[in-house]
A and B are shown apart, each in its own frame.
Chain A
Amino acid sequence: MARPMTMTEKILAAHAGKDEVKPGDNVWVDVDVLMTHDVCGPGTIGIFKEQFGAGAKVWDKTRIPIIPDHYIFTADDKCHRNIQTLRDFVAEQGIKYYYDPDFVNTEEGSGFPSPYRDPNNTNYKGVCHKALPEEGHCRPGEILLGTDSHTCTAGAFGQFATGVGNTDAAFTMGTGKTWLKVPPTMKFVFNGTIPSYLTAKDLILAVIGKVGFSGATYKAMYFTGSGIESLSLEDRMTLTNMAIEAGGKNGICDVDEKTLQYVRARSNRPEWTVYTEDEGAEYDCVHTWDLEDFEPLVAAPHSPDNTKTARELADQKLDRAYIGSCTGGKITDMIMAANILAGKQVKIPTFVVPGSTEVHSDMLKLGLDGEPVKEGEKNIYDTLVDAGCNMGAASCAACLGGPQDTFGRLNEPLNCISTTNRNFPGRMGHKEAGVYLASPLTAAASALTGFVTDPREYISKPIKTGTAGIC
């Protein structure tokens, strides 16, 4: 009888061909999926060719999705060249899943490059962590590696997912394997039901505020309890997305009917394994919260653990609001923001960037209740436009600053409330800019006042998101 194990331990044991593992063990594991994008892809490909030879073939061309997303809206030639590097590699290797931005083929002199004209009709997807599950690359029980620290997002699907560098990715690209140290698991229990004024963003900011910005370094973060069950799958992705902001190796949630509904509708493989926590599994620590004790939170500059309540920051003046990214640019995030902004006008420049072309497309199709727009009703996109928001197209955009001409980038020392996941100095552009991390509800409410604002002032009834973002 194997020792009682956590989900993370069980997944790593199964992929190492062992009956059991324990925290601290170093194991070689078989990787199920390896993702890369335009920023780390070219470097990874360079190391792959250097190490395995110019004519080498990848270990499995159906398990290496390549998702350009970071530097799409820019006139920077090197960024376009990097996408061409991905294209050449995809063609040479016969990579099955590649989501090309259309822009390089658009006519010259058309001005600012646009990656797609119609979100319903493009192969381009947008932010990799959103595109991965949408396109069927996430399944319970698997190991997903990606050349991006927010790869941990996919833990919402009950799998082990973590970020790696170019060298690790190149190694896996050639061998299908990597070595991992089995992490101890921190358990975070949320009791209750998510109220209308909170999102998973508030929960994860509370966790990071509690354990600190490096408090989960080398550890697995397991989120469980009725509070997590009550979250939509997209909101669970917000939770696991930010495990890395506490230094976590991975974040993981239980698999339930919501997970299976999503995966059945999307997975590009028919089989997966659902792992559950064993009775008696050992935890590094256990933290428990009741959702009814919570209020909307904000992480003030320059660290995600600099957590305060939105009310405490009510005197903080803002210059800009930003709603987007893998953390806060999903369709459910957009619906929440739109419900706050509907029929009102923003007081500060507000930038909205869908996380993916599917989100963009859904914004055009869905209304404030997350259901298809009815006659005479405004869709989410138009609701935001009419509230005075500047609308961008799906990409990572200003979440990580990027080239100077990136949509929404903070090129001056402005204070910005943002639904993104990091607020280090310079993260969104200017070194002296101040980034306040918050939920889409809090960011939208703050956009209406120009100050950090508790969204409860603007919520009169529960916000429904329907089946948005699921099937």
Chain B
Amino acid sequence: MENIITGKAYVLGDDIDTDQIIPAEFLSYDPSKPEERKYFGMYANCGVPEGQRGLPDGNIPFVPEGEFASEFKIVIGGKNFGCGSSREHAPLAIAEAGATVVIAEFYARIFFRNCVNGGYLLPCESVERLVEEVKTGDDLEVNLEKAEVRNLTSGKTYALKPLGDVKPIIEAGGVFDYARSSGMLDK
């Protein structure tokens, strides 16, 4: 896990559910097949209503139509990010588009667990609400050692909460690697 992650921010609001992150009609792709897995990147965050896509202005797609990769590396959310369905396709889709970090006020349980156990995304929690502090397209720098995120565009710095109990699993790269490193599974 890198300690410093930089990239452009993509800002979403509260209660972004997994149907908005990856609508059910795209779940027929099989993520185990590389030639199909990339489509999760293409459709990542495409279910978010137009006005809520890329705040504060809205109408900014996470991934340009017809493409597979996003220019945004850091997703900012409000409360209850990733609520709803247990589909692991949700963190997978955001990661497949090229993002590596999500920063939200707090997460729905299963999404958080899928991020950590699947090793897709680093799910950070902000101390303050960042949805109104950061604009889509702002350059951000996440510093894990200092547990903070700096908005390079505005010059402001915000604290992140400690990763807590799940830190060893995140550092290992997911639940399988964690179980192997701790001797629960054969290497």
CB < 8 Å neighbour of A46 from B23, B32, B79, B86 = B32
Q: Does A370 lie at the interface of the complex (its beta carbon under 8 Å from any beta carbon of B)? A: no
Flag the segment in B66-74, B113-121, B126-134, B151-159 that touches A: B113-121
* B window 62-117: CB within 8 A of A: 79-80, 83-89, 106, 108-110, 113-114, 117
Chain A, interface size category, equals 35 or more
Known A148-B86, A402-B24; judge A85-B108 contact (CB<8 A): no
The answer for the CA separation of A218 and B23 in the assembled complex, in Å, is 24
The answer for the CA separation of A365 and B24 in the assembled complex, in Å, is 34
Q: Does A40 lie at the interface of the complex (its beta carbon under 8 Å from any beta carbon of B)? A: yes
Q: Check A303–B15 contact: CB distance below 8 A.
A: yes
Q: Check B23–A401 contact: CB distance below 8 A.
A: yes
Q: Nearest Cβ distance between residue B34 and chain A, in whole angstroms? A: 10
4 other A-B residue contacts (CB within 8 Å) besides A214-B80, A214-B108: A79-B28, A165-B110, A247-B108, A401-B23
Q: Does A424 lie at the interface of the complex (its beta carbon under 8 Å from any beta carbon of B)? A: yes
Q: Which residues from chain A contact B110 at a C-beta distance below 8 Å?
A: 149, 163-165
Q: Which residues from chain A contact B185 at a C-beta distance below 8 Å?
A: 175
Q: Nearest Cβ distance between residue B187 and chain A, in whole angstroms? A: 12
CB-nearest residue of chain B to A168? B117
Q: Check A424–B20 contact: CB distance below 8 A.
A: yes
CB-nearest residue of chain A to B17? A424
Q: Does A61 lie at the interface of the complex (its beta carbon under 8 Å from any beta carbon of B)? A: no
A-B contact pairs, 17 of them (CB 8 A): A40-B87, A42-B30, A43-B88, A46-B33, A47-B32, A50-B32, A78-B28, A78-B30, A79-B28, A164-B113, A165-B114, A167-B175, A168-B113, A213-B15, A214-B15, A214-B83, A425-B48
Flag the segment in A136-144, A258-266, A373-381, A426-434 that touches B: A426-434
Q: Nearest Cβ distance between residue A227 and chain B, in whole angstroms? A: 27
CB < 8 Å neighbour of B20 from A147, A218, A402, A425 = A425
Known A50-B32, A163-B110; judge A213-B117 contact (CB<8 A): no
Q: Does B139 lie at the interface of the complex (its beta carbon under 8 Å from any beta carbon of A)? A: no
The answer for the CA separation of A185 and B185 in the assembled complex, in Å, is 32
Q: Which residues from chain A contact B4 at a C-beta distance below 8 Å?
A: none
The answer for the CA separation of A78 and B50 in the assembled complex, in Å, is 28
Q: Does A76 lie at the interface of the complex (its beta carbon under 8 Å from any beta carbon of B)? A: yes
The answer for the CA separation of A163 and B175 in the assembled complex, in Å, is 16
Q: Nearest Cβ distance between residue B176 and chain A, in whole angstroms? A: 5
**Binary B-proximity of A126-138 (CB < 8 A = 1, otherwise 0):** 0000000000000
Q: Does B145 lie at the interface of the complex (its beta carbon under 8 Å from any beta carbon of A)? A: no
Q: Which residues from chain A contact B84 at a C-beta distance below 8 Å?
A: 149, 244, 422, 424
Binding site for A on B (CB under 8 A): 15, 17, 19-20, 23-25, 27-33, 36, 47-50, 79-80, 83-89, 106, 108-110, 113-114, 117-119, 165, 174-176, 179, 184-185
* A window 74-92: CB within 8 A of B: 76, 78-79, 81-82, 85
The answer for the CA separation of A70 and B87 in the assembled complex, in Å, is 13
Q: Does A104 lie at the interface of the complex (its beta carbon under 8 Å from any beta carbon of B)? A: no
CB < 8 Å neighbour of B47 from A76, A85, A431 = A431
Q: Check B20–A85 contact: CB distance below 8 A.
A: no
Q: Does A273 lie at the interface of the complex (its beta carbon under 8 Å from any beta carbon of B)? A: no
Known A26-B165, A214-B80; judge A400-B85 contact (CB<8 A): yes
Known A79-B28, A400-B24, A401-B19; judge A426-B88 contact (CB<8 A): no
Q: Does A196 lie at the interface of the complex (its beta carbon under 8 Å from any beta carbon of B)? A: no
Q: Nearest Cβ distance between residue A361 and chain B, in whole angstroms? A: 27
Known A181-B165, A425-B49; judge A165-B86 contact (CB<8 A): yes
Known A46-B31, A431-B49; judge A149-B179 contact (CB<8 A): no
Q: Nearest Cβ distance between residue B23 and chain A, in whole angstroms? A: 6
* A window 380-432: CB within 8 A of B: 400-404, 422, 424-427, 431-432
Q: Nearest Cβ distance between residue B183 and chain A, in whole angstroms? A: 12
Q: Does A71 lie at the interface of the complex (its beta carbon under 8 Å from any beta carbon of B)? A: yes
Q: Check B30–A402 contact: CB distance below 8 A.
A: no
Q: Does A45 lie at the interface of the complex (its beta carbon under 8 Å from any beta carbon of B)? A: yes
CB < 8 Å neighbour of A247 from B24, B50, B83, B174 = B83
Q: Does A267 lie at the interface of the complex (its beta carbon under 8 Å from any beta carbon of B)? A: no
CB < 8 Å neighbour of B117 from A82, A167, A214 = A167
CB-nearest residue of chain B to A174? B185
Q: Check B25–A403 contact: CB distance below 8 A.
A: yes
Q: Does A103 lie at the interface of the complex (its beta carbon under 8 Å from any beta carbon of B)? A: no
CB < 8 Å neighbour of A171 from B17, B19, B49, B175 = B175
Q: Nearest Cβ distance between residue A211 and chain B, in whole angstroms? A: 13
**Binary B-proximity of A172-210 (CB < 8 A = 1, otherwise 0):** 000101010100000000000000000000000000000
Q: Does A63 lie at the interface of the complex (its beta carbon under 8 Å from any beta carbon of B)? A: no
CB-nearest residue of chain A to B29? A78
